[in-house]
Amino acid sequence: MIDHVNRPCYLFLRSILKLLATCYLHLFKGYRIDGKEHLPHGRMPCILIANHAAFIDSVYIICAVRPRFTICGAKPSYFQNFFRRHIFRTANILKVESHQQFLHDCRLLLRSGEVILIYPEMGRNPQGLGEFKTWAAEVALAQNVPVIPCYLYGTTAGQSGKKRLRVGMPIKPQGSPETLTRDFRESILRLKPAGQGEA
């Protein structure tokens, strides 16, 4: 299922769009990144995890991370429309049809030295941080790669002001998938700006 990711034609188009979007967000929207030193600065097997409130979230994260990465993943229905399918492929978004296929594809990507982004809720939650599935933890434990928590402020309902990505210290995977999943959620919650509470 990873045959369409990192295709040269899509990567070339993505690099151009990323440059334009990055300039626009930083120069005209005041987009800010806190903890940028924790992000990967080159290709390396690691997992980014973040809250996910809106489709635009991936654009903000793409503009914050220097190396290419694969977003794991999206529902198969999103790939049925011709126009949307090519948008998703340009963004390097992996189609997810099952739990086992997701685990298998993430492992292949990490073993080849790729950075991947997983939204642990495995779906969007416009109102705040919802329940996490164990999928991201299962991948991290199986491959023993660092996990970098991120919190994107400004796309969740009720949040106003400039968009801001806060990046935390890498997490070394250990314990059970359930315990590690709880650690993931707590690490992302700790990155929320003061006064926002738990959504």
Considering the domain boundaries, does residue 49 fall inside one?
yes
Predicted confidence at residue 6, as pLDDT, reads 87
Considering the domain boundaries, does residue 107 fall inside one?
yes
CATH code: domain of residue 152: 3.40.1130.10
Question: How far apart are the C-alpha atoms of 90 and 93, rounded to whole Å?
Answer: 8
Q: What's the domain range around 88?
A: 41-189
Predicted confidence at residue 197, as pLDDT, reads 53
Considering the domain boundaries, does residue 78 fall inside one?
yes
User: What secondary structure does DSSP assign to 85-142, as a single string?
Assistant: HHHHHHTTEEE---HHHHHHHHHHHHHTT-EEEE-TTSS--TTS--PPPSHHHHHHHH
Predicted confidence at residue 1, as pLDDT, reads 66
Considering the domain boundaries, does residue 61 fall inside one?
yes
Predicted confidence at residue 145, as pLDDT, reads 98
Q: For 18-73, what is each residue's pLDDT tens digit?
A: 999 999 999 999 999 999 999 999 999 999 999 999 999 999 999 999 999 999 98
Q: For 154-195, what is each residue's pLDDT tens digit?
A: 999 999 899 999 999 999 999 999 999 999 999 999 999 976
Predicted confidence at residue 3, as pLDDT, reads 73
Considering the domain boundaries, does residue 167 fall inside one?
yes
Q: For 103-155, what is each residue's pLDDT tens digit?
A: 999 999 999 999 999 999 999 999 999 999 999 999 999 999 999 999 999 99
Coil, strand or helix at 149: strand
Domain count, the chain: 1
Considering the domain boundaries, does residue 195 fall inside one?
no
